[in-house]
């Protein structure tokens, strides 16, 4: 007799963790757990992060472009100026990739620009965040040398050294970008019919690739520069207090830097480690995904605060920024060309009061211009 055989299709399931999807390889289906799908499509992930990105972009980009213009064209190119210019460029690059993140979230976490551009956007996003941290550390170290060790600063604080430091920061940024540029970031979720960009990753890639990568970034590009910044600012404040000098600006700078780290950068970095640690512990991840996305959006606000740090760090930048703003306001309030010419000529004219004595004792007063 003929025996009919029925082929049984089995599906191999890879367990899911935070930011990791469940791969059903034999059935050729890529999906997430139900709770993770809800977290990925929740209004908190599709609405709140883009709102924060829009605020950071609208405030930070004009402020940094103005700071860049003042630093490049209106101030002397001192060693500290080179570091501030470098920091402004890093912030501008970070802000320029935010529109792509905004569109991605508003379209339901659906990436439509292809795999290569996703890698570039994510590499620039994370690379410039950590590059900005190192820029803050170098600016703090420069102020420390200038105020605490002024004699040694004569040799250490030079244009050449500042250029070397700026190049070093860019090398660190490129090193932070490379793993993201070399790894696949986009995966299509069949249940939702969307393609995610760095939001859904295979669990084995998280444990063996991204967990060591982001752990290294946390210690080398966040904790280490944060320690340098705390030491430098604390020593500067102690030195100013001991010498009885004015320390109002130093306190403001310290507070702004602490706000950048504690409010903007610390939550996202801690949650980032927790997300990947949760993945290695077979956690679901949906409880941490939403807070991490919001904290990541908050981390971009450091680019909005940096120009205000420039304002209090550099006296020359402060004066030039004020003069630039005053010139703009004066141009807006300037009268017609004829009136301005007459008023300017009047201002340039020098008025002299003469007393002329006539015969007979009488005096006559005359004005000459």
Residues of the chain with pLDDT under 70: 1-33, 245-247, 278-287, 312-322, 324-369
Measured distance CA(236)–CA(287) in Å, rounded:
41
> pLDDT by residue (tens digit) across 19-32?
555 444 445 556 66
**How far apart, in whole angstroms, are the C-alpha atoms of residue 149 and residue 156?**
10
Query: How many structural domains are present in the chain?
Result: 1
41: domain CATH number is: 1.20.1070.10
Computed on alpha carbons and rounded to an integer, the radius of gyration of the chain in Å comes to 29
Q: Which residues 6+ apart lie within 8 Å of 15 measured at CB?
A: 22, 203, 282
Quick one: pLDDT at residue 316? 65
Digit-coded pLDDT (tens) for 56-89: 999 999 999 988 988 888 878 888 889 989 999 9
How confident is the model at residue 70, as a pLDDT? 86
> Does any domain span residue 262?
yes
What pLDDT is recorded for position 193?
A: 85
Q: Whole-angstrom Cα distance, residue 292 to residue 259?
A: 18
Nearest-5° Cα angle at 181, 171 to 83: 25
Phi–psi pair at 365, nearest 5 degrees: -100, 135
Task: Centre a 10 Å sphere on the Cβ of residue 21 and count the other Cβ atoms it contains.
Answer: 24
In a domain, 336, yes or no: no
pLDDT score of 308: 80
Beta strands in the chain (DSSP E): 20-24, 29-31, 186-189, 194-197, 201-202, 352-357, 363-368
The answer to whether the CB of 62 falls within 8 A of the CB of 46 is no
Residue 131's domain comprises 34-327
**Residue 5 belongs to some domain of the structure:** no
Within a domain: residue 350?
A: no
Instruction: For residue 351, tell me if it sits in a domain.
Output: no
Vertex 311 angle, CA 308 and 315, to 5°: 165
Is 68 contained in some domain?
A: yes
* 246: three-class secondary structure by DSSP: coil
Tokens of 195: 């393609």
Question: Considering the domain boundaries, does residue 146 fall inside one?
Answer: yes
Residue 13 DSSP label? B
pLDDT score, position 54: 96
Tokens of 158: 């030079």
129, 299 in Cβ contact below 8 A? yes
pLDDT of residue 314: 64
Count Cα neighbours of 216 within 13 Å in the Cβ-side half-sphere.
11
């Amino acid at each position: 007799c003929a025996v009919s055989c029925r082929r049984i299709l089995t599906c191999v399931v890879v367990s899911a963790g935070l930011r990791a999807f469940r791969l059903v390889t034999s059935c050729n289906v890529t999906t997430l757990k139900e709770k993770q799908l809800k977290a990925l499509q929740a209004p908190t992930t599709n609405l709140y992060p883009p709102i924060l990105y829009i605020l950071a972009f609208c405030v930070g980009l004009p402020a940094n472009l103005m700071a860049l213009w003042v630093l490049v064209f209106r101030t002397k190119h001192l060693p500290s100026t080179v570091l501030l210019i470098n920091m402004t460029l890093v912030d501008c690059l970070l802000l320029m990739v935010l529109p792509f993140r905004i569109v991605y979230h508003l379209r339901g976490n659906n990436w439509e620009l292809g795999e290569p551009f996703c890698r570039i956007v994510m590499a620039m996003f994370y690379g410039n965040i950590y590059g900005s941290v190192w820029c803050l550390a170098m600016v703090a170290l420069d102020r420390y040398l200038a105020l605490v060790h002024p004699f040694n600063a004569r040799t250490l604080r030079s244009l050449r050294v500042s250029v070397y430091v700026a190049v070093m920061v860019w090398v660190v940024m490129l090193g932070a970008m490379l793993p993201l540029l070399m790894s696949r970031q986009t995966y299509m979720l069949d249940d939702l019919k969307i393609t995610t960009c760095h939001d859904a990753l295979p669990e084995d890639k998280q444990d063996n690739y991204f967990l060591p990568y982001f752990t290294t970034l946390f210690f080398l590009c966040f904790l280490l520069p944060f320690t340098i910044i705390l030491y430098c600012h604390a020593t500067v404040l102690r030195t100013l207090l001991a010498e009885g000098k004015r320390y109002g600006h130093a306190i403001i700078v310290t507070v702004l830097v602490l706000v950048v780290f504690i409010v903007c950068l610390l939550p996202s970095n801690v949650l980032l480690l927790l997300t990947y640690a949760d993945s290695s512990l077979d956690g679901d991840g949906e409880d941490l995904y939403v807070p991490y996305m919001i904290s990541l959006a908050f981390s971009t606000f450091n680019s909005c605060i940096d120009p205000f740090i420039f304002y209090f760090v550099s006296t020359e930048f402060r004066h030039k920024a004020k003069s630039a703003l005053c010139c703009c306001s004066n141009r807006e309030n300037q009268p017609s060309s004829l009136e301005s010419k007459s008023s300017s000529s009047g201002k340039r004219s020098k008025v002299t009061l003469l007393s002329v004595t006539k015969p007979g004792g009488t005096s006559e007063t005359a004005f000459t211009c």
